[in-house]
Amino acid sequence: MNKRIHTNNAPAAIGPYSQAVRTGSLLFVSGQTPLVPETGAMVECGIAEQAHRVFKNLLAILESEGLGFNNVVKTTVLLADMGDFAVLNGIYAEYFNGEVLPARATFAVKELPKSALVEIELVASYE
């Protein structure tokens, strides 16, 4: 059975979707953008500041389930500008640095919600 996951420590869903859904031993976390949970405002700085905010939002959802980045098995990174890849990749390595790194896909997209520069979704395992 699927279970809706929600924490007030990450931005509320801004559409008809859940922050995350648990099914069996997997947690599917919806794409997180650099919204500040307390205000709903977008971090207006550059890619580095936005990426760190996205990772904080992802971690808040993971921690609400007793998980961390070491439980992540797959990520999908969406960038508004592939020119930001090197900066994002360096920040990504700060959060994912274990022995087994998650599988990943990175795409450049035409536009992200609220003109964000980055959005990341992930799948984590409870095992």
Q: Flag whether pLDDT at 70 surpasses 90.
A: yes
Q: Global pTM?
A: 0.96
Contact (Cβ atoms closer than 8 angstroms) between residue 44 and residue 83 = no
pLDDT at residue number 34: 98
- CATH number of domain containing 41: 3.30.1330.40
- pLDDT (tens digit per residue) in 86-126: 999 999 999 999 999 999 999 999 999 999 999 999 999 99
- pLDDT (tens digit per residue) in 22-65: 999 999 999 999 999 999 999 989 999 999 999 999 999 999 99
Q: How many domains does the chain have?
A: 1
Distances in Å between the Cα of 66 and the Cα atoms of 27, 61, 63 are: 11, 9, 5
With helix as H, strand as E and coil as C, how does the chain read? CEEEECCCCCCCCCCCCCCEEEECCEEEEEEECCECCCCCCECCCCHHHHHHHHHHHHHHHHHHCCCCHHHEEEEEEEECCHHHHHHHHHHHHHHCCCCCCCEEEEEECCCCHHHCCEEEEEEEECC
> In terms of residue numbers, what domain contains 21?
2-125
- pLDDT class of 14 with cuts at 50, 70, 90: confident
